[in-house]
Amino acid sequence: ALISMRQLLDHAAEQGYGIPAFNVNNLEQMRAIMEAAAKTDSPVIVQASAGARKYAGSNFLKHMILAAIEEFPHIPVCMHQDHGTSPAVCQRSIALGFSSVMMDGSLGTDGKTPTSYEYNVDVTRRTVEMAHACGVSVEGELGCLGSLETGMAGEEDGIGAEGVLSHDQMLTDPDEAAEFVKATNVDALAIACGTSHGAYKFTKPPTGDTLAIGRIKEIHARIPNTHLVMHGSSSVPQEWLAIINEFGGEIPETYGVPVEQIVEGIKYGVRKVNIDTDLRLASTGAVRRFMAQNPSEFDPRKFLKETISAMRDICIARYEAFGTAGNA
């Protein structure tokens, strides 16, 4: 069944678990997520980015998600729009039938330029008014996502602050977060706590304080009833990097957010955990390996099937680690 993000996250908060929100662009990702959810009895959040809408088309994405709901009627599914850059973008997704939208007012409509607090409050508040009138939940963002190690926002096409960010910009201020939630009435708040989008988050394995878990704790103490969202939560599995590089890829040494640190964040109010890169890496590794080992094969279903099982295994591992399993 289609469900709003608010309903899912309220249950997650009551029971103290987190829900991975996986990005979807194609049928293989959708199947991987749903099969993993069915296997582990987990509720699902799937999110479509502007890049996904450009790649697959909004109508294809919509109907793919609706098809998933039809095929897995016992799994609650939230259809979420990732990183909306304006109230108008969110309005279009609501009209299309999304049950949740993100209004990312931390960056301007170009998806690059950090904005003022006042601008962010204004666009987010307007989106909440519109969305709540339609029974749709809203995620806002305060602070700029950026790696506390490198000061960079990450390499995803479309969304990410330009240039090197200051330490302050990359850590959401707890008092400002409290004020922001009061002024906008958002259901969930994406916070900046040292993660960044993409595969290049850290050049060495992050230690206990590479991520500002303490900051998450402080924010949660100020806004205990607002669900926190961690973007840039891919763990960048070293096994998949090795497979990609073994079969012709060239990805330099890089590290993501360790699953244990995300689990620590979940103890302090993180309820939605955004993951895209890990499924991309698994998918690429599976294709490269299959192609190298089966050079005479040319039926795309053969290698795409490999991507489904590679991605499904990651989804299962996250549903289990975050405590999502058993809560559908």
Contact residues: ligand G3H, CB under 6 A:
23, 49-52, 82-83, 156-159, 197, 276
* Distance in Å, CB of 82 to ligand 13P, minimum: 5
Phi first, then psi: give them for residue 312, nearest 5 degrees: -60, -40
Applying CB under 5 A, does 272 fall inside the site for Zn ion?
A: no
What does 50 bind: ligand G3H, Zn ion, ligand 13P, none (CB cut-off 5 to 8 Å by kind)? ligand G3H
Q: Which of 40, 234, 261, 284 binds ligand 13P (CB under 6 A)?
A: 234
Which CB, 274 or 284, lies closer to Zn ion? 274
| Among 220, 202, 219, CA closest to 211 | 202
Q: Are the beta carbons of 41 and 67 closer than 8 angstroms?
A: no
Binding mask 183-222 for Zn ion (x = CB under 5 A): ----------------------------------------
Question: Among all residues, whose Cβ is closest to Zn ion?
Answer: 231
Is-catalytic flag, 278?
no
- Of 6 and 53, nearer to ligand G3H (C-beta) is 53
Enumerate residues 6+ apart whose C-beta is below 8 A from 198.
154, 155, 156, 160, 232, 234, 277
Q: What number of chain residues touch Zn ion (CB under 5 A)? A: 2
Contacts of Zn ion in 274-293 (CB under 5 A) = 274
Restricting to residues 261-280, name those near ligand 13P by CB under 6 A: 274-277
What are the φ/ψ torsions at residue 209 (nearest 5 degrees)?
-115, 15
- The DSSP annotation for 106-150 comes to TB-TTS-SB--HHHHHHHHHHHHHHHHHTT-EEEEEES----TTT
Query: Amino acid identity, residue 189?
Result: L
Catalytic annotation, pick one of 82, 104, 187, 278: 82
In the complex with ligand G3H, the residue whose CB is nearer, 16 or 57, is 57
**53 scored as a contact of Zn ion (CB under 5 A):** no
Measured between alpha carbons, how far is 234 from 255 in angstroms, rounded to an integer? 9
Q: With contact defined as beta carbons under 8 Å apart, do 44 and 37 qualify?
A: yes
| Residues in CB range of 104: below 8 A, 6 or more apart | 83, 84, 85, 111, 140, 141, 159, 190
Contacting residues toward Zn ion, per CB under 5 A? 231, 274
Q: Which residues are catalytic?
A: 82
